[in-house]
Chain A
Amino acid sequence: MKRSLTLLSTFALLHSSFSADWPQFRGPNASAVSTEATAPGPKVNIDWSVDLPGRGLSSPIVVGDKVFITCSSGPDQSNLHVFCFSAADGKKIWERVMKATGRTMSHNKTCVAAPTPCSDGERVFALYSSNDLFAFDLAGNLLWLRGLTYDYSNASNSLGMSSSPVVVGDTLVVQSENDSESLAVGIDVTTGKNRWKKERPKAANWTSAVVYQNVVALQSSKGLTGVNPRTGEIEWDYTDGASTTPSSAVTKNAIYVPSNGITALSPEKGSASQIWRAGGLKPGTGSPLVLGDAIYVLNGTGVLIRASITNGDEAWKLRLKGPLSGSPVAAGQYIYIVSERGDFQVIDTTAKEGAVVHTVELKDTLLCTPAISDGAVFVRSDKKLWKLK
């Protein structure tokens, strides 16, 4: 009996640890919605903050009790940092500093540490706008590295790139989509070598992939393409165009694509049928999310729109403090977003017309998308990483 209790508690610990992970840009499956039972709730405040030595738009990710974050520093931003902090108290566990092998030029508003790292629970994959890609284990041991612009010399964007990688099973999918040598690769997580490499539309693209029923959905100006992560084979293809800035929202049964407003798709092998289209739902920079029976779209003027996931009909609109660059994330009934001026805002989606129920002034420029784990929210600026709880 005692032994089975021990086993049970061990399982509970492991499960609890896993369920709290926020392993990539916009969390589990890139859905932007926390799957853990303990939500941060509305009244979060600063638990701790740490200084960062460089710039970054990338989100923090959380694996177990560790927070990982990337930065870039130096006059040409060629110093590439990966940090591991304790989620409990912000203590630095390790830091690695590498050098960009690809081009580091970007628009002033963005920077080289723009893509968010991702993790399969054992490894952390840190990608930068320079197309440098590093795999570390959770203890900071370097497992492998790649320089995708070193490999493919015209794969770069002079405005900077920001597509975040996703990992599915034992394959890491990386997009390097641009006007010149535009490509996506599926990389073996154990060796860092290509399983496949695909030519992608020759057009600058800042969106990130989402994972839908174990298929990686790659968005571009052409549309949304479902790719088998192991082989790179196309499973389905939606070709009616899509945004190159906000990414799609995903649930178990549908993908909501920023395409001609929002287009809801129900992809399956060989087809990507349209469920509905709402031309008035036009996301700005941030990506939409689906919470319960509603989709939330943040438009270019800082208005959050709630609409039905059944037909796209609008329910309410709520003006937030802007301007806003990051994407909203959610846990429980609350949506969390931070403005460029540092206003961390908590929105109660169950209020009749939606309501901002709490604001924390972080007094800095914040362009990132928050991460949620273990009842806390993590955000970063070019100077700091915060935990709010």
Chain B
Amino acid sequence: MKAHLLSLLAPIGLVAPYSSHLAAASLSGPLAEIRAVDREGTGNEKATSAWQKLTQADPATLPEVLAGMNGANPLAENWLRAAVGVIADQASAAKKLPIEAVQAFLSDTKNSPAPRVVAYDIIQRAQPELAEKITPSLLEDPSSELRRHPVAKLLQSGDEDLAQGRKEEATNAYLKAMNSARDEDQIKDLAKKLKDLDKPVDLPKHFGFLMNWKLIAPFTNVERKGFDTAFPPEQEIRPDAVYPGKNADAKWIDFNSADDYGQIDFNKPFTMLKEVTGYAYTEFESAEARDAQIRLGCKDGWKVWLNGELLFARDEYHRGAKLDQYKLPVKLKKGKNAILVKCCQNEQTESWTVEWQFQLRICDATGTAILSAK
């Protein structure tokens, strides 16, 4: 009778399922099935039942489920993030949250940034005082998301010092924060405070903007056809070359940006033209062969090549631009790396369609600048 009652109640979630909690040894199958999900819903059916199994796991297995996120694709990460959330909620309700094990997972920087952020969030919700204690240790963390917390604390500390007239302490707090800050909002805030304290920040260096380019224009982009037209710079980079352009010869010129946010503005040398295509070329010297990201902000149509390989192309015009709008994972080779950007201006004449520019930086996955060796 008792068993019968339990079997009736289990499906509506009033008691734990018959099979009790899934032990650690049983997790490998469900984790593998979830990690196999991919584009266009591939693996969704298996992941659905695997997710159900995972959410019945013993709370003690939480670090193992978190570890399942290591190296997973973003879709699998989300499946597992949701499972961790359910397991953590259930564990908290049962007062069985393995907080020490979660903290150990967070502390181990060999784990991927995404699950470590989830681990921090679990700690913050369950024991905010512990999260507060951990926060200063995250200042140099590989995760930019985790760095935000100690940077915010230093900002607050600097503000308090400043309010009390302790300029030197405030400056030190801001400088320390700036050194670790990777998010634009915090960097902007800190740069302004430091400028006010006569400690201007070299923002292009902090972000890793590429400031010195060779530009060539104007090729045509009438009817937006220039975007898919391979003009000569896509075949050869010859600094002394002159090509027939739109209403004028197209020649290479040197352009050095003085903009704090590294804008490479074609309007400056070529004037405010419409329906034109320009190219920018630069070389980046990498001290080693390594993984990196090329991050671009641009509101015109654009394409980017690294060492002759097309990384991405986007034909959206004047819908907005921001820092790190596009993050392109790349492999830099040791020595010279050739970067070519195509930037297409369209036919719109509204005042907000004047910009014909881009900003480009090279950094690691955290957003830490990688500077050219030359």
Residues of A within 8 A of B (CB): 74-75, 95-99, 101, 103, 105, 107, 132, 134, 139-147, 150-151, 153-154, 156-159, 178-180, 187, 191-194, 204
Contact = CB atoms under 8 A, between A and B. Distances in A.
Given A141-B52, A147-B75, A159 B44 contact: no
B249 to A, nearest CB: 31
A141 B55 contact: yes
B79 to A, nearest CB: 7
Contacts of B47: 144
Interface stretch (B126-134, B172-180, B313-321): B313-321
A319 B359 CA distance: 46
Contacts of B183: 75
B26 to A, nearest CB: 19
Contact of A97 (B41, B81, B148, B326): B81
B19 to A, nearest CB: 16
B40 A101 contact: no
A144 B315 contact: no
5 nearest CB pairs, A to B? A193-B41, A158-B319, A101-B74, A144-B44, A158-B320
B185 interface: yes
Interface string B83-95: 1011000000000
A302 B5 CA distance: 59
Given A143-B48, A144-B47, A146-B41, A99 B320 contact: no
User: Which of A101, A107, A132, A142 counts the most chain B CB atoms within 10 A?
Assistant: A142
Nearest to B312: A153
Contact of A192 (B44, B145, B321): B44
Contacts of A191: 41, 44-45
Given A103-B325, A158-B316, A97 B74 contact: no
A283 to B, nearest CB: 22
A15 B368 CA distance: 58
Nearest to B317: A179
Nearest to A159: B319
Contact of A158 (B13, B51, B75, B299): B299
A159 B322 CA distance: 11
Contacts of A107: 320
Interface of B: 13, 39-41, 44-45, 47-48, 51-52, 55, 74-75, 77-79, 81-83, 85-86, 114, 121, 145, 148, 183, 185, 299, 312, 314-317, 319-322, 325-326
A150 B75 contact: yes
A140 B312 CA distance: 37
A118 B301 CA distance: 34
Contacts of A95: 85
Contacts of A194: 40-41
Contact of A179 (B81, B148, B316): B316
A204 B154 CA distance: 42
Contacts of A143: 48
B319 A179 contact: yes
A192 B41 contact: yes
B70 to A, nearest CB: 15
Contact of B13 (A139, A145, A154): A139
B41 A157 contact: no
A376 B322 CA distance: 41
Given A134-B78, A150-B74, 16 more contacts: A97-B85, A144-B41, A144-B44, A145-B75, A147-B75, A147-B78, A154-B314, A157-B316, A158-B316, A158-B320, A158-B321, A180-B316, A187-B41, A191-B41, A193-B44, A204-B319
6 contacts: A105-B325, A107-B320, A159-B319, A193-B40, A193-B41, A204-B319
User: Which of A97, A103, A107, A191 counts the most chain B CB atoms within 10 A?
Assistant: A97
A123 to B, nearest CB: 11
Contacts of B326: 103
A151 B40 CA distance: 6
B78 to A, nearest CB: 5
A201 to B, nearest CB: 14
Given A75-B183, A103-B325, A192-B44, A98 B319 contact: no
Contacts of B41: 144, 146, 187, 191-194
